[in-house]
């Protein structure tokens, strides 16, 4: 299900959160689908359960998943989490584009950079 890239310097909970988010937004995990328990995922990834709990908590705060006490965590219903994430990424992209422009990179050059990076 999830594989952790240990060469990535970000905290493990962020890698777990991003991996789950990617699985959800790609449709690999469907709406209403039950996620592995914190303990199950921690064992399978050989990480501390608190790390998984933090990832789940942040995904819940952003509306990507819902937790039901005694039942587990599930992929949230509806596309509001995806729309919110798209808006957040658009803001980041706008800030990056402005920074590139300040460095003298044209929009065409930026588009080429994005196109090249997407093929990696």
Per the prediction, the chain carries an average pLDDT of 89
Q: Tell me the per-residue pLDDT of 23-69, one tens digit each, with 9 for 90 and over.
A: 998 889 988 999 999 999 999 999 999 999 999 999 999 889 999 99
Q: Backbone phi, then psi, for 65, in 5-degree steps?
A: -130, 165
Average pLDDT over residues 101-108: 92
Q: Tell me the per-residue pLDDT of 61-76, one tens digit each, with 9 for 90 and over.
A: 988 999 999 999 999 8
What confidence score (pLDDT) does residue 119 get? 65
Evaluate if residue 83 carries a pLDDT over 80: no
Q: Is the pTM of this model over 0.85?
A: no
| E strands, 17-62, in order | none
């Amino acid at each position: 299900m999830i594989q952790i890239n240990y060469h990535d310097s970000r905290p493990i909970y962020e890698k777990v959160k991003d991996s789950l988010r990617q699985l959800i937004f790609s449709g690999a995990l469907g709406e209403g689908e039950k996620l592995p328990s914190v303990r199950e995922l921690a064992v399978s990834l050989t990480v501390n359960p608190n790390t998984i709990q933090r990832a789940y908590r942040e995904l819940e705060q952003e509306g990507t998943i819902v937790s039901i006490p005694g039942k587990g965590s599930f992929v949230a219903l509806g596309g509001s989490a995806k729309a919110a994430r798209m808006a957040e990424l658009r803001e980041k992209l706008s800030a990056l584009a402005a920074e590139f422009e300040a460095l003298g990179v044209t929009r065409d050059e930026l588009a080429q950079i994005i196109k090249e990076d997407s093929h990696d």
